[in-house]
Structure 1
Amino acid sequence: MNPIKRADIKPGDRVAIVMKADQRSGKLTEGTVKEILTKSPEHPHGIKVRLGGGEVGRVQGKIQIPNSK
């Protein structure tokens, strides 16, 4: 499994994260990236971000939004 790189994430992207409290269960939280917190280019557990709602967690995947055309 290839971890998502920091360069692949930017503020405004829709992502699914796992918050620290949900690591055991693997529960994902979806939201829009407000801030990227990880400084290194990649991290084995995922890039840490803050979502628009204030949630902090590691990115598990990007959410593709279909074009509305």
Structure 2
Amino acid sequence: MDDLTGASWRKSTRSSDSGNCVEVTDNLPDVVGVRDSKDVRGPALAFTAETWRTFIADVRAGVLS
């Protein structure tokens, strides 16, 4: 599940101007990748699409802050 080969990365719209940014990829089947935009060759996290949807829903609902 953690193969991010072919990922098309985009910077989060919530990223700050100070360089504290994350990039996500959602063009791979059933995998969402997350990485630090300042270290694009560094490690990346891979989540199942369902886990990522749950995380985003919880953030929007205020469950996570």
TM range (shorter): under 0.3
Higher helix share: 2
Normalised by the length of structure 2, the TM-score is 0.27
Query: Which protein is bigger by CA-based radius of gyration?
Result: 2
Higher RCO by CA contacts (8 Å cutoff, separation 6 or greater): 1
Q: TM-score, normalised by structure 1?
A: 0.26
